[in-house]
Amino acid sequence: MRPHLRTPARASAYILVCFLVVATTFAMGYVTRAVNAPAIRDAPQFAVFWEAWNLVDQNFYGNKPDETTRAHGAIKGSLSTLDDPYTVFVEPRQRDREQEELRGSFGGIGVMVGRTSDGRIILTPVADRPAAKAGILAGDELIAVDGLSITAETPFDDVLAAVRGKVGTAVQLTVRRQGSSQPLTIEVRRAEIVTPSVSWELEAPDVGYVKLSIFNERTNDELKQAIQELHKQGATSFVIDLRNNGGGLLSAAIDVASQFLEDGVVMYERKSNGTEKAYPVRDSGALLEDPIAALMNSGTASASEIVAGAIQDHRRGSLIGTKTFGKASVQLLFDLSDGSSLHVTNAHWLTPDRHEIHGVGLTPDIEVEITDQDRQDQRDTQRERAVAYLRQQRQATPMSSTGN
C-alpha cells in the first residue's frame, strides 16, 4: 500500500515494470503530510548565484541545460548542504508517480512493460484489463504511442508517462507483433488501475496471513477487508507482514495501528524545540483480541516502524524477524508550482513508550534470520516461526468453562 507478493528480482536482461504496481518512491520510508508552500522570499545572497550563471552563459563551451533543469539542479544542490537524506526535491514526473502510489490507483491500461537489453519495449497485458480487452498480446513490441516513436533511446519514464493518463481517455499504441508483416495500431481506453497495498491468505486452518506493502490512502480499508475475509475463513490469529515496507502516509500508519489497539497512544511526534504531539488510537479496531505476530526486517521503515513500535510497546503481539531500518523522521510535503514537490524533515517520531527509533531501529522480540540456504530452499523461516509462535500462544491460553 494484492493478491501478489513482492519477491527479490532475479538478474535478467528483461526488466519488468508493472503498470499495476508502481515502483515505490519510499525505499527509505517517507512519512508524508501535505501542506501549503510558504511564500518565496528574496535573498540578496543569491545575487552571486546569478552572477555565476551569467558567466556560465557567456563562456561555457558545450550544450547547456534548459532553465528548468538548472533550477531543479540548484534546488537539489542546496538541499544536499542540509545533510539529511529525507529532505529531498522530487521532479514533476516522479511526483506524479509518488501521488499515484499514495492514492493507490492511477489512470492506465493494465500492462506490464519490459525493456530488453537492446532497448526494445515489450508489453504483457494483464487479464481483464483494458489492454488485453483491446487486443494487445503478450510479446507485442511497442514502437509508438499516439504517433510518437519509441526507440532504444527513449527514456523509460517517458514511455510510462505516455501510456498513462486521465481515466476515460484513449491512447493509440502501435506495436510490432511476431508473425505480422506490418505494425498494428490499437486504441486502448484508459481505466482506473488499482494498486492494492494489502494481500492476504489463510496460512493454516486458524492462522491468517496479511501482507502490507505500503501505507497509502486505501491501506486501512483493505486491511479491514482482509481481517473480515480471514475471520470468515476461520482465522483466529494473524501474522502481519511488514517486511520490506518502506512507509507511506502518516495518517494510514495511525489508522492501521488502531486496528490492533483498543486505546492509548500510537506514537509521539517531537519537534526540534522539544515540543511533542501525541497521536492517539482512532475509533474501534477490527483486530483487538486475536493474537498477532508482526514480521519485520531491515526493509521495515518509517510508517511500518510506527505500527511495529506500537504493537511492541502496547504488548499487543511479538515482533519476529530482524532489526528494522530505523527511519523515524516526519516529512512535510510541499507541492510546488511546476508540479514538483519538496519533502522537508520537520520532526522525529517516538514509540508509545517514547523510544527513539531514528538511526537505531526496532529490535525484534524473537530474532529469526533468513539464511542463503533458506532462500535456496525457498523457505520463509520468519513466517514459519510466526505461525509456530501463534500456535504456542493458543495452546498457552487457558480455556474457560462453566460447571453445572
Give the pLDDT score at 10.
29
List of residues 6+ apart from 308 with CB closer than 8 A: 242, 294, 296, 300, 319, 324, 362
CA nearest neighbour of 229 among 211, 213, 210: 210
Give the pLDDT score at 330.
85
**CA triple 302-213-356, angle to 5 deg:** 15
Mean pLDDT per block of 10 residues along the chain (404 residues) reads: 30 31 36 47 72 87 85 87 88 76 85 88 91 94 94 87 91 94 95 91 95 94 97 97 93 96 96 93 92 96 96 97 93 86 91 94 97 94 96 71 40
Q: Which of 199, 302, 318, 329 is catalytic?
A: 302
CA distance 295 to 382: 7
Give the largest Cα separation in the chain, rounded.
Answer: 99
CA distance 193 to 189: 12
Q: Which of 241, 327, 329, 340 is catalytic?
A: 327
Catalytic site residue 302? yes
Q: Which of 258, 313, 329, 341 is catalytic?
A: 313
* pTM of the complete model beyond 0.85: no
List of residues 6+ apart from 4 with CB closer than 8 A: 21, 199
Catalytic site residue 313? yes
Dihedral (CA of 132, 137, 143, 147) sign? negative
**CA triple 24-26-29, angle to 5 deg:** 155
Q: How far is CA 143 from the centre of its chain?
A: 30
Give the pLDDT score at 42.
60
Give the pLDDT score at 39.
44
Catalytic site residue 327? yes
Q: Which domains does the chain have, with CATH numbers?
A: 106-194 (2.30.42.10), 198-396 (3.90.226.10)
CA distance 154 to 242: 36
Give the pLDDT score at 9.
31
